[in-house]
A and B are shown apart, each in its own frame.
Chain A
Amino acid sequence: MAVAVQKNQQNQGSDAEQGKSLNLSQYLTFILGKEEYGVDILRVQEIRSWEPVSRIPNVPHYEKGVINLRGAIVPIIDLRDRFSLGHADYTPITAVIVLQTKSQGKTRVMGVVVDTVSEVVDVDKSEIQASPDFGAKVSTEYIAGLCANNDRMIMLLDVDKLLSLDDGGESDDGR
């Protein structure tokens, strides 16, 4: 009896997987230099324009500082600096995407500086391809996958890994 039920569930499971191929999830894409990245749109709280930050002393250079976001102190991280893509000057179209991350059951809010926000794309989950392994040459730990959109490659970022400052941040801090 129990076996039969289990089989049933398995069947349902594979049915669901087939159904999922039609499931689309939405990503907000943005430009860094010549590359296009995407983050899960459900993690995006808001998009702001760049504003001066208050610097925090003795932290990695890509942690730009903190801003006052309606009474909350929110850190701002420059993704160009984070990915070592060369620094760009902040212009009026420089955007800050405010993201929500979850770590250890706590929700944090952080802002990332990007060149410009591009568009919202629907990505078919089955078409997301795992990031190729470049060995130690290129760190891909915070890339959740790659996908194509009109012949452009979009790198989908894992927000939680990207912004987990406690481990990544402090080890980079070593002088």
Chain B
Amino acid sequence: MSIDLAQFHQVFFEESFEGLDAMETGLLDLDTGDVESEEINTIFRAAHSIKGGAGTFGFMEVSNFTHVMETLLDEMRDGRRQVTQPTVDVLLDSVDFLREMLTAIQDDEEIDKERMAQCQDALNQELNGDVSSAADATTEQTEIETTQKTDQPKGWQIVFCPHESLMQSGNDPVRILRELEMLGDLTVEVDYQGLPSLYDMDPEACYLSWDLRLEGDVSREDIDDIFAWVEDDCDMAIRPIGEQAPAVENIIADDVVHNDAPDLQLVRDNIQSASAPQAPAENTKPAKKESASSKEKKANTGSSSIRVDTDKIDTLINMVGELVITQSMLSLLGDNFEVDKVDQLKTGLVQLERHTRELQESVMNIRMLPISFVFSRFPRLVHDLSSKLGKQIELKLSGEHTEVDKTVIELLSDPLVHLVRNSLDHGVEMPDVRVAAGKPAMGTVHLNAFHRGGNIVIEISDDGKGLDAEMLRGKAIEKGLIDETTNLTEKQCFELIFMAGFSTAAELSDISGRGVGMDVVRRNIQSLGGSIEIRSELGKGSTIAIHLPLTLAILDGQSIAVGDETYIVPLVSIIESVNLTPDMINRVIGKGETFRLREEYLPIVRMHEIFGIGSAKATSLTEGLVVVVEGQGNRCGLFVDDLLGQQQVVIKSLEANYRRAEGVSGATILGDGSVALILDIPGLLRLSNQHQPGMVVNN
């Protein structure tokens, strides 16, 4: 029976990375001093399944390394060890290293042995240093194990006492025995004393225990491999043949397995640390930085698969069923169609339309992931950075369950990291400065995500020093980015930080301040079809808000007609449509046309003028319609001939074969096969602003 395990590797890596994330989150929560056994259990379980998985797939370095971590965690779980900051830091570092190891294996690269030795040393120091009694016990056993290592035993005596719940975890003792048999000559003695009477017996419980004698040249790792999955659900002891085999009762009292197994590990570590130069503890610091960069590398490659709720798939399958029924109904109708069946046909088509729409929505839904996928990396980032910067910063997350398209999530994470770093580095002040300014010493950075209209909004706000508009302006003049005579509003001053080559940090740090970045952030966000805006109050803090479309593939659109041409306006940017009467229209300095909508004067953008459409039917403002649209906080009235209808449109890229066109965000194919352009309202507003002076020159 040989299964190609390689096909499961991808799944293993994904699960392991998820497990590592869980461990990291758990460890960071421990960090706050609030020790809950459930937290440690979560971390422990994650480490355990990584170990098990790695063992199964033969990644021995990973499984051995995780084992040491697991031992440490187990002691914490049992309350035999205090949770201290250094321990947590060592564990966090180990999590980083595990991630590096897994990435290396995934990319078929060599594992950094030196780093492994360092991490293991740090772990072992934790293991041995604090709990002296445990250390005594282990050294004693180490000696025994050392002899085993040099003098390979002829076989093993294994006492295997599964808990009653073993089979509920999907493990089968018979399978384990069968696998052991493949390693060597196996003698099995079963102990059925625990077996209740037939009447009391639960068929799903395991009552038996085994006394196994495995003869032959078998390594301890191979045996550990086999038991990797059941370690949690049984008591067991493994001893080389020739030693006194302890009685089953003793073993249970000892709770051997977790103390027992790492001994071998210790031996190996001792050997390794003897051969490798002793790594001082400080060495872990640069390594940590390395890990941060490798982490980013990982994020860039991204996972190519996606995990989907079973519920979502069930809905999808239901929908497809409905669709098939509708289809067969329609085809039956088409086989012998008569005019009097037109009503039936119409109902069928309506159903078809509904199903298509629902199907489309649920397919889109599959691509939706909660934003917590991005947010989850920030606690660690803030933890590391704030201690590095010597600042006290609390990170608040809200709206983690807001769902966003997977593509958006992948492309969003780098810009967000950058913005959060900026907030930490430039925004929040040092504790003494904060106290002097009458603020609590602990700064707050708040990450918030929510839906607004068809957009998702992500806000990064801090209660730091805020942006100084005058200072920004001065800096921009100094750097020659703007002219001294340029008049800028406060908002425009804030926008300056998005210009390339603009940095306000007095000195460079490796966190931020190089002046590249914010422009890249904005470009990334804009390439996703989103926008970014800054609100800031000097001394009180600043908020950066990112607006993104929910999905990149389909949007609800309103078709409008201008002359012979049809354009699509995204429904989300439309506020209302009005028919103008002459008394509503005003002119500013004889030129700029505005109209009064309730209490507000809005500029009018004539579509046929800015797009140069000659065939427009309505040229006088009272003849056509004005569609009130909003883009990036600005409103205007779009003057068009007529409204056609609302429909969902599939967004096609213009850039694939062509290039970007100002005022147009993409194209779509209408029902009759012709192409209609989708308007980009903010771009259109920019275009109309450029257009007005241009017209004067031409005239």
Contacts and interface: CB of A to CB of B under 8 A. Distances in A.
B661 A68 contact: no
B663 A67 contact: no
B675 A165 contact: no
Given A66-B667, A68-B669, A72-B652, A54 B658 contact: no
A73 B667 contact: yes
Nearest to A165: B659
Nearest to B698: A175
B659 A166 contact: yes
Contact of B669 (A52, A58, A71, A169): A71
A59 B661 contact: yes
B340 to A, nearest CB: 36
Contacts of A67: 675
Contact of B675 (A66, A109, A175): A66
Interface in A129-175: 165-166, 169-170, 175
A110 interface: yes
Contacts of A68: 669, 673-675
Interface string A52-69: 111111110000011110
B398 to A, nearest CB: 40
A57 B663 contact: yes
B565 interface: yes
A74 B687 contact: no
Nearest to A55: B565
Nearest to B653: A73
B666 to A, nearest CB: 8
B633 interface: no
B687 A108 contact: no
B654 A66 contact: yes
A110 B657 contact: yes
B267 to A, nearest CB: 54
A73 B654 contact: yes
Q: Which of A72, A73, A74 has the most CB of B within 10 A?
A: A73
A56 B664 contact: yes
Contacts of B676: 54
Interface string A71-113: 1111100000000000000000000000000000000111000
A151 B668 CA distance: 47
Nearest to A110: B657
Nearest to B667: A73
B652 A73 contact: yes
Contacts of B203: none
Nearest to A169: B659
B667 A57 contact: no
Contacts of A65: 675
Contacts of A73: 652-654, 656-658, 667, 669, 675
Given A66-B654, A73-B654, A58 B674 contact: no
Contacts of B663: 57-58
Nearest to B675: A54
Given A54-B667, A54-B674, A57-B610, A72 B661 contact: no
Contact of B612 (A52, A57, A72): A57
Interface string B653-696: 11011110111100101000111110000000001000000100
A66 B664 contact: no
Contacts of A108: 656-658
A72 B656 contact: yes
A109 B657 contact: yes
Nearest to B684: A57
B337 interface: no
B611 interface: yes
Contacts of A109: 657
A57 B675 contact: no
A166 B660 CA distance: 9
Task: Find the residue from B565, B613, B669 having the highest chain A CB count within 10 A.
Answer: B669
Contact of B661 (A57, A71, A74, A175): A57
B697 to A, nearest CB: 9
A109 B654 CA distance: 11
B157 to A, nearest CB: 64
Contacts of B610: 57-58
Interface in A39-57: 52-57
Contacts of A59: 661
Contact of A66 (B658, B662, B687): B658
Contacts of A74: 657-658
A73 B649 CA distance: 14
Nearest to A106: B656
Given A66-B667, A68-B675, A72-B652, A56 B661 contact: yes
18 contacts: A52-B674, A53-B675, A54-B677, A57-B612, A57-B613, A57-B661, A57-B663, A57-B664, A58-B663, A66-B667, A66-B675, A73-B653, A73-B667, A75-B657, A108-B657, A165-B659, A169-B659, A175-B694
Given A54-B674, A58-B662, A73-B656, 11 more contacts: A53-B675, A56-B664, A56-B677, A57-B664, A66-B654, A66-B658, A66-B675, A74-B658, A108-B656, A110-B658, A175-B694
Interface of A: 52-59, 65-68, 71-75, 108-110, 165-166, 169-170, 175
Q: Considering the complex of A and B, which 9 residue pairs feature the smallest CB-CB distances, nearest first? A: A57-B611, A54-B675, A75-B658, A108-B657, A73-B667, A68-B669, A73-B652, A68-B675, A109-B657
